[in-house]
Amino acid sequence: MIELSDFSIGYGSKRLLTNVGAMIPASGMTALLGRNGSGKSTLLRAIAGLNADYSGEIKIAGVDLRKITPHDRAKKIAFVSTHRPRISNMKCCDVVAIGRAPYTNWMGRMQPQDEQVVYAVLEAVGMGSFADVSIDKMSDGECQRVMIARALAQETPVILLDEPTSFLDIPNRYELCRLLHNLAEKHNKCVLFSTHELDIAKSICDNIMLIDTPLLHNMPTNAMIASGHIDRVFNISDVKR
């Protein structure tokens, strides 16, 4: 589903990844790992079409990302950033409805089928009863579920999330990632998210991408664990000693 070919990216004079390649499957959940400053957010934003300062190719379902119009890209890729909206008096259903923008008519008017999608995805993330509650009244965990519902409302095959578990306590981190994994399986989505949670990546995800500057390792989770790359990049053996 997502393919990187001869891909390089960085900022200023700093190169983060150089001539790397990777293939992320069309369904399942992939964790993007790397040390602080390794470029996880930079890579995600490039795949989302929000950072064109790279060389090589990013392909979505075999199509070069540079050749996809913004409107069509919004039907292929949904992106959930670390920002959580706290707009007073904006209902959760209205936040989720933003995800229907690629499908509404030229006036941006919601049709009955769009409203059905909005309430269906809120139910899917366990937030159906919060549809009419103001988003600024939500906890961090609830707000993140609403943002995931907005991404689901876009009905894209790819969902990207930048640090979705940040600011959540440990139980909610696991609960949110299990939700993402279930959604990836049930809705046949390609879910890629950046995280610092090594235990979550190892225990829940189907695949792991690891930034090992200037390299990028991409393997099924069990193979990545067995490779020793995670322990080496994060100096885990040194911590144990």
Q: What is the pLDDT of residue 52?
A: 93
Residue stretches of the chain with pLDDT short of 70: 106-107, 237-241
Q: What is the pLDDT of residue 106?
A: 63
Please enumerate, as own/partner, the contacts of 97-105 that have beta carbons within 8 Å and a separation of 24 or more.
Answer: 97/153, 98/150, 98/153, 99/149, 99/150, 99/151, 99/152, 99/153, 99/154, 100/153, 100/154, 101/74, 102/71, 102/74, 102/75, 102/154, 103/75, 103/155
Q: What is the pLDDT of residue 152?
A: 96
The alpha-helical segments, DSSP class H, found in the chain are 40-47, 70-73, 92-97, 112-124, 140-153, 170-186, 198-204, 221-227, 229-233, 236-240
d(CA 63, CA 3): 9
Q: What is the pLDDT of residue 241?
A: 41
Q: What is the pLDDT of residue 107?
A: 66
Cα three-residue angle 49-55-61, rounded to 5 degrees = 50
- Across the strands, what pairs with 193? 31, 161
Please write the tens of the pLDDT for every residue from 136-155: 999 989 999 999 999 999 99
Q: What is the pLDDT of residue 217?
A: 98
Find out whether 7 and 20 touch, Cβ atoms under 8 Å. yes
Please write the tens of the pLDDT for every residue from 185-218: 998 999 999 999 999 999 999 999 999 999 999 9
